[in-house]
Amino acid sequence: MSVFRLFRRPSSAPVARERLQILLAYERGVRGQSDLLTILREEILAVIEKHVPIERDNVQIKMDRGDAVSLLEIDVEIPNSAGLLVSA
């Protein structure tokens, strides 16, 4: 085993990179749950709910912090039975 490892040890940097990307995406999400985000979430959902019924559990909201701009991403699952085309 150790002889084999001497010849070919997989590089560890890509593992480090992937672990960090996953971890930080989560930690930024938690950190981003500021008051502003909570307010935005409630008001945006209220507007959507006026037109289509949605499940609060099927809503994902996150903030991606970039260098110059940040990205507010809201994923709302709308059931096909909601009649979206009619309401819009």
Partner 1 sequence: MAKVLVVTSGKGGVGKTTSTAALGAALAQSGQSVVVVDFDVGLRNLDLVMGAERRVVFDLINVVQGVAKLSQALIRDKRVETLWLLPASQTRDKDALTEEGVARVIAELRKKFDWVICDSPAGIERGATLAMRFADAAVIVTNPEVSSVRDSDRMIGLLDSKTERAEKGQRVEKHILITRYDAARAARGEMLSIEDVLEILSTPLLGIIPESEEVLRASNLGSPITLANSTSAAARAYMAAARRLKGEDVPMTIPHDKKGLLDKLFGRRAA
* Cβ at position 14, least distance to partner 1 in Å: 7
* Cβ at position 37, least distance to partner 1 in Å: 12
Q: Which is nearer to partner 1, 27 or 49 (CB)?
A: 27
Measuring CA to CA, which residue among 36, 35, 24 is closest to residue 65?
24
What span, in angstroms and rounded, lies between the C-alpha atoms of 55 and 49?
A: 9
Q: Which is nearer to partner 1, 17 or 74 (CB)?
A: 17
Candidate residues 1, 6, 7, 12; the one interacting with partner 1 per rule CB under 8 A: 12
Measuring CA to CA, which residue among 25, 26, 61 is closest to residue 43?
61
Q: Which of residues 17-76 bind partner 1 (CB under 8 A)?
A: 17, 19-21, 23-24, 27-28, 31, 34, 65-67
Question: Which amino acid belongs to residue 13?
Answer: A
Q: Which is nearer to partner 1, 16 or 84 (CB)?
A: 16
Using DSSP, state whether 62 is helix, strand or coil: strand
Question: Which amino acid belongs to residue 53?
Answer: P
